[in-house]
Amino acid sequence: MTHRFGILRRFRFNLPQRIAAGLLALFLIQGLWLTGRQTLTGQDYQYARCGRETWERPSALAGYYTTCGNIHDGILAYRLAGLPLTLNLLVERGLDRFRKPEDRVVQAGGEINTWELRHQMTHILLLMRLPFLFAGCLLGGCIWWVTRRLYGNLGGYTALTLYCFSPAVLKACVTPNPEMLAALGVYGGVYTCLGVAHAMQGPRRKWRPRMVLLTLLFGVAAASHIAALPIVALLGLALMLWVAEGHRSQALPVVLMATAGALALLFVCYGFSPDAFSYVFRSAAGLLWFSLDPARRFFSALGNAGITVAACAALALYLGLRRSRYFGNTTPLLCFLVLVLLVLTGTPGSPWLWALPFLFTFVGGVFADAYESPRGRLALAAGGAIVLLQAVFCLLSLPGLL
């Protein structure tokens, strides 16, 4: 059997995978519920208009990439927001071949704007949010894969449940913005760097798929928000130097290769436009500073009560129990502390949202250690109560549910 089909043969969809899929399905249902109670906003129009321009035609304004100007913070969110609308317009043009001339959406010799197709396009708001909901589900799958691999099923369930019932994550997934895309790039990039560092202990042939994945994730981070690329590159390099004993001299070249590949992918996302691409490096989009305000606002929100209790309990167990202070738990804690303190001063952005997957991973790891302690049943009951508390507060925060 070839290697490709061997991977498919090893894939299993047993009870743990089904439970994780059920949690992600609940996450998606909540996102669709929120979407159904939203209306189109000025931000939606901006992302749709400029996102369509990146796919269909350049800006009519000389010297600018789109009518929004030169997109300098992150172009991927614009492309994803505009892609469903562009595809829908292509479908309408294809169906025009079977319509009478007077019923065609695009009349002969004329171009019309997507927003004049409201009677043809029935779910514009949903179409714009599906890519971001998909990114949220993909990030949840990454959290499940990492935490289950490191901490077992119970640790994976804990981390994924807190993620799926996080009001901040849900809100970010039902609004066109780069936050969850950047979170996916940063979280996946950091743990892929660790995967590459571990692969350095084996034959070189095992490096290649991980290097390709690392380059793609760095590319997602760069195209989502330009500040995310240096953050994930520096975090990944520091962790690789920590892990790759005997191969530390190769860590920097690996990260530089992945970064160069990410910049090449970013150039592709800008449609091979040198002017628009170069403006990314001439803007102030990557400027950072430090502040405790985002963390204070997040942990003081009532909808995050369960997450706050879980974080405090996990930190107390981490400091109090020696068995919890190991690399697998320390890594997400350090990444969370770094990211949650960052604020963007050059352009809007929310690094504290990028930090949440690391917080959930840390909580899942520490709680998994507590579940395996002599008082495991008591710890499991307490962990279940905390997770249930967060789920209840999240559901209560959904508009129109009660």
Based on the fold, state whether residues 68 and 141 are members of the same structural domain: no
How many structural domains comprise the chain? 2
In a 3-state reduction of DSSP, which class is residue 66?
strand
Q: How far apart are CA 134 and CA 136, in angstroms?
A: 5
Mean pLDDT of the chain: 87
Residue 19 placed within a domain:
no
Residue 335 placed within a domain:
yes
Distance in angstroms between the alpha carbons of the first and the last residue of the chain: 54
Contacting residues for 80 by C-beta, under 8 A, at least 6 apart: 51, 131, 132, 135, 176, 181
Based on the fold, state whether residues 72 and 186 are members of the same structural domain: no
CB atoms < 10 A from the CB of 126, how many? 15
Q: How is residue 288 annotated by DSSP?
A: E
The residue written with tokens 């927003």 in the block is: 115
Predicted confidence at residue 116, as pLDDT, reads: 47
pLDDT above 60 for 3: no
Measured between alpha carbons, how far is residue 95 from residues 48, 89, 99, 121, 293 in Å? 22, 10, 7, 13, 52
Residue 13 placed within a domain:
no
Q: Pick the last residue of a domain from 83, 109, 125.
A: 125
Residue 353 placed within a domain:
yes
Q: Pick the last residue of a domain from 67, 94, 125.
A: 125
Contacting residues for 188 by C-beta, under 8 A, at least 6 apart: 139, 142, 213, 217, 220
217 closest CA partner among 231, 204, 205? 231
Read off the pLDDT of residues 350-400 as tens digits, 9 standing for 90 and up.
999 999 999 999 999 999 999 998 888 999 999 999 999 999 999 999 887
Contacting residues for 178 by C-beta, under 8 A, at least 6 apart: 73, 74, 76, 77, 224, 225, 349
57 token code pair: 């035609």
Share of the chain above pLDDT 90, in %: 58
Residue 16 placed within a domain:
no
Whether the model clears a pTM of 0.85, i.e. scores above it, the answer is: yes
> What domain range includes position 49?
43-125
Based on the fold, state whether residues 255 and 353 are members of the same structural domain: yes
In a 3-state reduction of DSSP, which class is residue 100?
coil
Q: How is residue 96 annotated by DSSP?
A: G
Based on the fold, state whether residues 118 and 30 are members of the same structural domain: no
Q: Pick the last residue of a domain from 125, 149, 168.
A: 125
Based on the fold, state whether residues 114 and 152 are members of the same structural domain: no
Based on the fold, state whether residues 64 and 194 are members of the same structural domain: no
Based on the fold, state whether residues 119 and 171 are members of the same structural domain: no
Read off the pLDDT of residues 7-65 as tens digits, 9 standing for 90 and up.
445 667 788 899 999 999 999 999 999 998 888 888 888 888 888 888 887 666 656 77
Based on the fold, state whether residues 172 and 57 are members of the same structural domain: no
Residue 134 placed within a domain:
yes
pLDDT above 80 for 1: no
Indicate the length of the chain as a whole number: 402
pLDDT above 60 for 111: no
From its phi and psi, is residue 213 left (phi > 0), alpha (psi between -120 and 50) or beta?
alpha
Residue 158 placed within a domain:
yes
Based on the fold, state whether residues 81 and 229 are members of the same structural domain: no
In a 3-state reduction of DSSP, which class is residue 110?
coil
Angle 295-39-46 from CA coordinates, rounded to 5°: 75
Higher pLDDT, 2 or 209: 209
Based on the fold, state whether residues 73 and 220 are members of the same structural domain: no
Based on the fold, state whether residues 333 and 229 are members of the same structural domain: yes
Angle 55-57-59 from CA coordinates, rounded to 5°: 115
Angle 67-69-74 from CA coordinates, rounded to 5°: 115
Cβ distance 279 to 334 under 8 Å? no
Based on the fold, state whether residues 319 and 364 are members of the same structural domain: yes
Instruction: Show the DSSP H helices in 63-123 as ranges.
Output: 76-95
Residue 299 placed within a domain:
yes
Q: How far apart are CA 361 and CA 155, in angstroms?
A: 8
